[in-house]
Amino acid sequence: MEGIVGYGAYIPRNRIKVEEIAKVWGADAPSYKRGLMLEEKSVPSPDQDTITMSVEAAKNALRRCLINPKEIGAVYVGSESHPYAVKPSGTVLAEALGATPEVHTADFEFACKAGTEAMYVVLNLVKTGDIKYGLAVGADTSQGAPGDALEYSAAAGAAAFIFGHENVIANALESYSYMTDTPDFWRREYQYYPQHGGRFTGDPAYFKHVVGAAKGIMDKAGMKPSDFEYVTFHQPNGKFPFRVGKMLGFEKKQIETGWLVNKLGNTYSGSSPLGLTAILDVSKPGDKILIVSYGSGAGSDAFIFEVTKRIDKARDLAPKTRELLDNNRCYLEYGEYAKFRQKIKKAI
């Protein structure tokens, strides 16, 4: 059966705390911490972007499956912060991995679900038999305007998945997509920061689509919440994944393994994919996992995976997601953060 043969994560080591941001804007840090369940978020260094993080995560995925990169037939990067407006991120990634030149490359963009879009297409290409292996990456150096509510959550990180037929770590039992035209969050051409519809991003956007995709895929598979060991949802803040999980009938213990947002922030296209890597890090053969992404605009992709015995051989071959999150952290002050994120305009 087709499924994940290798997975890898990458999280930059820099962090900034909610209090540090709130201090600058005179905002009420406790209400952000309590209301949105956010404590700190990751920040990319000045020389890091979606491409560099994609390379890091993809290398970790390769370490777990030990395949010849030349056998990768598709390299897809999903992000809303591709460094170039014109010129693919995927070409740099494919070159860095040694997968060129017989490889198909495309960049995906669908707000925070671009990563799972790449996974959806790669999985289904592998299913056709047209390619032996395919690589899908969700990565973002998310933008949040200074002082905006998004600034407390917009973070950086990447997750990579190699799909194939042999030596599969997690079989893909089902995939499903749910989408409507719902303008809850957007960034127009030439704008640096996105705009959002405030509370409109909740019920008619996130909750409607995540619930729609989760119910749709469970119906399709004939499964119910209690059939899953783990579930991970898109994590725009700490609260939403637990609330949507409760609405669907999942328990806290099924959600918290892949719930990284309180210490990581919202890594946009990397968000639910990173949750999946954290789950795979601790899962056992036979575990069933549900992942549901969410991208503004708006839609959700959902997958059901079943972990195989192969996980025991692959798990320790690359850094685990919780290790990347908890170790080697470097805390920034707001000034450094503003410089790193190019929020300060220099003369040259």
List of residues contacting another protein (CB under 8 A): 28, 31, 197-200, 203-204
CB atoms within 10 A of CB 246: 12
DSSP classification of residue 228:
-
**Whole-angstrom Cα distance, residue 121 to residue 46?**
31
* Dihedral angle sign, alpha carbons of residues 318, 260, 272, 53: negative
Question: With respect to another protein, which residue has the nearer C-beta, 26 or 101?
Answer: 26
Q: Which is nearer to another protein, 202 or 225 (CB)?
A: 202
Query: Smallest distance from the beta carbon of 195 to another protein, in angstroms?
Result: 8
**Cβ closer to another protein: 46 or 183?**
183
Q: What stretches of 165-243 adopt beta strand conformation (E)?
A: 170-182, 185-186, 195-196, 230-233
Residue whose CB is less far from another protein, 182 or 277: 182
112 flagged as catalytic: yes
The catalytic residue among 112, 151, 196, 306 is 112
Neighbours of 208 (CB within 10 A): 18
Sheet strands (E) in the chain:
3-10, 14-17, 40-43, 72-78, 104-108, 133-141, 156-164, 170-182, 185-186, 195-196, 230-233, 288-292, 297-307, 330-331
Bond into 83 cis (ω within 30)? no
**Catalytic residue list contains 330:** no
Cβ closest to another protein, residue 98 vs residue 147: 147
Cβ proximity of 136 and 121 under 8 Å: yes
Q: Cβ 239 to another protein, closest distance in Å?
A: 15
Q: Report, in Å, the least distance between residue 271 CB and another protein.
A: 23
Active-site position among 40, 80, 117, 306: 80
Q: Is 95 a catalytic residue?
A: no
Q: Residue 35 CB, nearest distance to another protein (Å)? A: 8
Residues labelled catalytic: 80, 112, 234
